[in-house]
Amino acid sequence: MSLLRDAIKNNEFVITAELSPRKGTLVTNFIKMVHSLKGRVHAINITDNQRAIMRMSSLAASYLVLREGVEPVYQITCRDRNRLALQSDLLGASALGIKNVLALTGDHPSAGDFPEAKPVFDLDATTLLHTITKLNSGFDLNDHPLKGHTDLFAGAALTPQAQPLEPVLLAMERKINAGAKFFQTQPVFDTDAFASFMSKINRFGIPVMAGILLLHSAEQAVNLNTQVPGIHIPDTLIKRLESSSDPHNEGIDIAVELTGRLRGISRGMHIMTVGQERDILTLLERI
């Protein structure tokens, strides 16, 4: 039984939150955060060396989450592994009882704290989804039979504010054909634009969880606009953060408002932070 899969099947409004594994082996605070989210979200996404910054294995951290009685979404990127290692890790995840996986291409190592690392990118997100579909059917990527198949519920990422939009729609369709069962988006800040995007993809009939990113300063918002492709934070929101006496709380207010608007547009929300994971709890309490 999968809480996330069943919630999507039953047309519930799905809530997921994103946690990063620790840069080290001390996981006490990580486990406390997992317990704080237990019963408040359908699943917790565990990032895989997000922004190419080295951290504990997402597979190991996903198992820690599962061990605490919370359902993880195991994020796996193609940046650091060839197709041999990717299949090996996916088989291991399934054997450990992990049900959900988010297939990602991954950021280039040059963006992180080991810029000298050699990128792999043997597969991309679409071919990784195809690989998961093969493993679920009982075969590896070269059609060799497995002794026991996986049962992974695979999802993918989506960038609804990218321009031009046509390549995004084509990539989405390819990912669906490769086996994606749900999508989690990059942060959404313009709900009207997101509603327009959703009207274009409703024909696919696949659940989309809108990304909610908790902002804590105008400077952060400006940096995200200039440094992260596919993110657009309107000037009106940046001005609210600039003029607020408490921009951190203003960022939570903005997230609460966005959540209310998105409930009638998307099938759920995926909550993200930048180093402020306790804010996830504040947002969940407020909504």
Q: Where are the domains of the chain?
A: 3-215+263-280
pLDDT of 2 strictly over 80: no
Q: Round to whole Å and give the CA distance between 56 and 165.
A: 35
Give the whole-angstrom CA distance, residue 265 versus residue 178: 25
pLDDT band with cut points at 50, 70 and 90 for residue 1 = low
Candidate from 12-21, 103-112, 228-237 with smallest mean pLDDT: 228-237
| Residue 21, preceding peptide bond in cis (omega within 30° of 0) | no
Residue 276's pLDDT is: 84
| Structure tokens belonging to residue 193 | 């634009």
On the question of pLDDT at 207 being above 70, the answer is yes
> What does CATH list as the number for 3-215+263-280?
3.20.20.220
3-state secondary structure (DSSP) of residue 18: strand
How far apart, in Å, do the first and last CA atoms of the chain sit?
27
The predicted pLDDT at position 54 comes to: 97
From CA 177, how far away is CA 173, in angstroms rounded? 6
Share of the chain above pLDDT 70, in %: 100
The per-residue pLDDT for range 266-284, each reduced to its tens digit, is 999 999 997 789 999 999 9
Average pLDDT over residues 130-140: 98
**Residues in CB range of 19: below 8 A, 6 or more apart:** 30, 33, 34, 37, 44, 45, 46, 47, 61, 65, 277
Considering the chain, what percentage of its residues have pLDDT values greater than 90?
A: 92
